[in-house]
Homo-oligomer: A and B are copies of this chain.
Amino acid sequence: MSALSDLADLLGPRLSTGASVRDQHGRNESHFPPALPDAVAFPESTEEVAAIVRACAADGTPVTVFGTGTSLEGQHLPVAGGISLDMSRMNRVLAVHGGDMDAVVQPGLTRTGLNDALRDSGLFFPVDPGADASLGGMAATRASGTTTVRYGTMRDNVMALEAVMADGSVIRTGSRARKSASGYDLTHLLVGSEGTLGIITELTLRLHPLPEAVAAATCRFPSVAEAVACVIEVMPAAIPMARIELVDEMMVRGFNLHAGAEMPEMPHLFLEFHGAPGAVADQAALFREIAEDHGVSGWQDATTTEARSALWRMRHNAHHATGALEPGKRTLATDVCVPISALAEAVADAQAGARDLGLTSAIVGHVGDGNFHCGVRLNPEDADEMERVAEFSRRLAETALRLGGTVTGEHGIGLGKRKYMRAEHGNALDWMRRLKAAYDPKGILNPGKLLPDAE
């Protein structure tokens, strides 16, 4: 590749072909086999990203962006080789506009990095996928998480972007105005495109006022169906929930093993309320009243900051806690999202699927959005188990589509879910392909992701 020598000239020591750096950029936290880049580039500016892409475009070298490597569908894996574009040196906060409640940041900044910078501003950035992911990666994968029920996904919180397109040209989309009816929404075309249409080099993000008061609680239900029925009654009751997380029996077992939680192995809801102090108490009381009709028990308030932190730390460690269920295996981390009315059926079907197939699967869910995750333990060396896991995934995806949902609420398509794109999108997939062909005719941007191979 002539691109490599061009880039060595351009970046000097910030282009690495060393084995350990390449290895580090070719690994993943989920079940995909490693895929190594030919070289890793560490750009420090938009101009450098543009120059890198121009060099790669010249000889068709693939470019795959690496944020923190925490994506769960292999989005950052350079399966066709080429350049891994590591954004960690582009991690600055460029501006915080307190009066306008927005911030302009570089893509390598992580979400906690931004929130650290916002300390004492009275504002925060709410999207929280668990991992301390880069904000560019979160935008590229249309990430969401525990607070989405109240504050939205990355789609709702990205106002504007700067991006390098496949020919190396730099564009700006959107503005700092809170809305616009001007032209095609290229911002939201790039959000969720997994680096296949353009490379995000700057983001303008919406910030939110820190709530005056925060209260959290946990409680348990006799069944997943009752927990979900409670949530379905809560949502139209206009309680502005900040978090409602479902934890199934198996996940509770994982928390008990991993974090010594000593919770009864029953379905739980983890709750958080944001608002004025009086309003927060009212919200919790109204929730509890509705929950009484669904057999709630074991209500525990987490009123102190410490108790709340412990609660959400445990929840965020779900991936590791799943690992405690069958030590020594790996985890398939998958998610689907369905209309809330179908959530109990979808979760029950996932639990039955794991039982039928003899698999260990733990479920956590952003139940206010109808989104839930299954962490399935697997041994990559065990061909029979791998086939049963594949069958589990297929059944999960098919059930989600049958119930009017989507094969992924927040992990994205990446490598693992391309096979469901036709089933989910029908001939809209052809219009996605048309878009890709128009924007990246040489196919250099994150090849092998999002779109299935030609059918």
Contacts and interface: CB of A to CB of B under 8 A. Distances in A.
A179 B97 contact: no
B99 A341 contact: yes
A177 B142 CA distance: 15
Contact of A409 (B170, B177, B404): B177
Contacts of A180: 142, 337, 406, 408-409
Contacts of A212: 238
Nearest to A432: B184
Given A97-B339, A209-B237, A434-B439, A450 B183 contact: yes
B178 A369 contact: yes
Contacts of A98: 236
Contacts of A432: 183-184, 186
A338 interface: yes
A315 interface: no
A9 interface: no
A75 to B, nearest CB: 10
Interface residues on A, range: 35 or more
B236 A101 contact: yes
Given A101-B236, A406-B175, A438-B434, A185 B181 contact: no
Contacts of A101: 235-236
Task: Choose among A143, A155, A191, A400 the residue with the greatest number of B CB atoms under 10 Å from its CB.
Answer: A155
A373 interface: no
Interface in A74-118: 97-102
Contacts of A330: none
B410 A181 contact: yes
A222 to B, nearest CB: 21
B192 A181 contact: yes
A350 to B, nearest CB: 15
Interface in A212-250: 212, 232, 235-238, 240
A413 B171 contact: no
Interface string A422-438: 00111111111011011
A182 B406 contact: yes
Contact of A189 (B185, B211, B338): B185
Contact of A181 (B141, B237, B427, B434): B141
Nearest to A193: B184
Contacts of A437: 438
A102 B235 CA distance: 12
A175 B438 contact: no
Interface string A187-223: 0110111000100000000000101100000000000
A291 B420 CA distance: 54
A405 interface: yes
In the A-B complex, the 4 residue pairs with the smallest Cβ-Cβ separation, listed nearest first, are A438-B438, A180-B406, A99-B341, A171-B428
Given A98-B236, A181-B192, A278-B282, 13 more contacts: A155-B185, A171-B427, A177-B337, A178-B370, A178-B371, A179-B410, A183-B192, A183-B424, A183-B425, A183-B432, A184-B432, A437-B438, A438-B438
